[in-house]
Amino acid sequence: MIISRQVEEVTRRYYGVDRTGDTISRYNIRLRLSILDGVRNMYYEFAAKKAAEIVELQQRVLDVISHSDVLLDGSDSQMSADDISVT
């Protein structure tokens, strides 16, 4: 993912600046890293919610299909030869 790659790059920069002792740059990079982590976590949370919604919708559709199959099977058995007219 693009965000994960950016997190890796910023993390490498953070550790490089950490070795030099530049506290101002380290703070700025750490702030950017925190923001990227938050954005990535929000994307994951959003994707998990949408996946749960998809599963719920699939279950609803399958329940409706299986329920209508039962109704069709039941209504077919109630028909007799007198109900069908041949012209």
Q: Which of 43, 38, 28 is nearest to 7 (CA)?
A: 38
38-53 residue pLDDT tens: 999 999 999 999 999 9
Summary mean pLDDT of the chain:
83
For residue 70, the surrounding DSSP H or E stretch is: helix 23-78
2-60 residue pLDDT tens: 888 999 999 999 999 988 888 999 999 999 999 999 999 999 999 999 999 999 999 99
Tell whether the model's pLDDT for residue 79 goes beyond 80.
Answer: no
Please report the pLDDT score of residue 63 as a whole number. 86
* Gap between the Cα atoms of 71 and 66, Å rounded: 9
Please report the pLDDT score of residue 78 as a whole number. 54
